[in-house]
Amino acid sequence: MAEAQSIDEHAAVREREGWVTGRLVLFCLASVGITVVAGLVQVSFGEYSMTFVEAWKAVFNPTVIFSLDAWSAFLFGTELPNMSTGSVVVWNLRLPRVFVGIIAGATLAVSGAIFQAVTRNELASPFILGVSSGAGFAVLATLVVFSGLSNLLPLVAALGGTVAFVVVYMIAWKGGTSPVRLVLAGVIVNMIFQSLQQGLFFFADDLGVVQTAIAWLTGSLTGTGWGEVRIAIVPAIIAIGIALAGSRQLNVLMLGETTARSLGMQVERVRFFLSAVAILAASVAIAVAGIVSFFGLVVPHIVRNTLGGDYRRLMVGCLFAGPALMVTADVGARLALSGTQIPVGIVTGLIGGPYFLYLMRKQQSMGEL
């Protein structure tokens, strides 16, 4: 019995060594480096004039980093302790935008990767499958009509995304689904919910709400603070944790439905559960950052082309690459036009659109993974 246990332990070690590669470690470290550099650049700009050195000293100020009162104020909304002006500006106004970008980038990337495995469709993403539009309509309705429910935005967005995804599957189902039908159904649902979003503006009486809604529809991190971090961090951790734990099941799904069933998997149950996780992950990002187009499509492809198709590596890679690309794109959105901050969704759309075209031109047979 001891010998059998030893064999199992050696097999487990070999399996871990098989997917935790040097390339994965280097990729994650490079992504962390990019995120840190982009974040430091981001906190160096704003209405309050600070030099790069002053901003970076404020970021690494030990009296803030190791202050329980400060973290209580940031994460739980208690009273902010006495801090220098620079520390208040950086920690209370500028860094939350970076943290929201990290959360949104990670959840959108993980969501896109899950959708591509669940549908076995390399064109799948929250945006393409209509989940973003459904969640966006639900959040926009909350902002414009039911403003008292603003603290429940992740739940509202998840409900809207779930409805949209169910509708997409119903439209695409014809004795089963196919990559082409899913994408076409997603386009249809996208158009419907975008029309509903535009119709909601007729019910908005406050010009400020309209301006906020427009910025939110294009995907923007401008003005985000610790309130958005508090809204998103718990459901983001839950969704990402379950997604990482489900990477083995995603690998099995990629083998095909017949093979997965022969291995004992209850395919429809696993597919439904993982789809719910992907919807939750996308909804978290949409609730705090708006509709950031093409992000969930592009990041998994970049990671897959770099690290391969094993979902244990792919999910970890997305967890690190998503924040790096989101924070970098937000820096570009902030600095692209002098004196004007454009929504980050415009930058990701300008990148994602041509990349989507590149994918279509690269392969003659496009769709199924």
Q: Tell me, what amino acid is at 323? A: P
Q: What pLDDT, on the 0 to 100 scale, is given for residue 369?
A: 60
Does residue 189 fall inside a structural domain? yes
Residue 10 or residue 359, greater confidence? 359
Does residue 367 fall inside a structural domain? no
pTM: 0.88
Q: How many CA atoms lie within 13 A of 292 on its CB side?
A: 41
pLDDT > 60? residue 283? yes
Give the angle 166-347-109 at the CA atoms, nearest 5°: 45
Total domains in the fold of the chain: 1
Q: How confident is the model at residue 201 (pLDDT cuts 50, 70, 90)?
A: confident
Q: What pLDDT, on the 0 to 100 scale, is given for residue 5?
A: 47
Give, to the nearest 10 degrees, the angle between helix 226-245 and helix 267-289: 160
Which of 236, 215, 229 is closest to 91 using CA atoms? 229
Does residue 7 fall inside a structural domain? no
Check which CATH number belongs to the domain holding 135 and give it: 1.10.3470.10
Q: What pLDDT, on the 0 to 100 scale, is given for residue 310?
A: 94
Q: What pLDDT, on the 0 to 100 scale, is given for residue 311?
A: 95
Long-range CB pairs of 25-28 (<8 Å, 24+ gap) are 27/303, 27/306, 27/307, 27/317, 27/320, 27/321, 28/316, 28/317, 28/320
**32-75 tens-digit pLDDT:** 999 999 999 999 988 888 888 999 999 999 999 999 999 999 99
Does residue 13 fall inside a structural domain? no
**126-174 tens-digit pLDDT:** 888 888 889 888 888 887 777 667 667 777 888 898 899 889 888 988 8
Residues contacting residue 260 through CB under 8 Å, at least 6 positions apart: 252, 253, 267, 270
Does residue 99 fall inside a structural domain? yes
Range of the domain at 148: 25-362
Does residue 335 fall inside a structural domain? yes
Task: Please give the structure tokens belonging to residue 321.
Answer: 């690459």
Does residue 17 fall inside a structural domain? no
Residue 139 or residue 196, greater confidence? 196
Does residue 310 fall inside a structural domain? yes
The answer to which of 62-76, 91-105, 187-201, 322-336 has the lowest mean pLDDT is 187-201
pLDDT > 70? residue 17? no
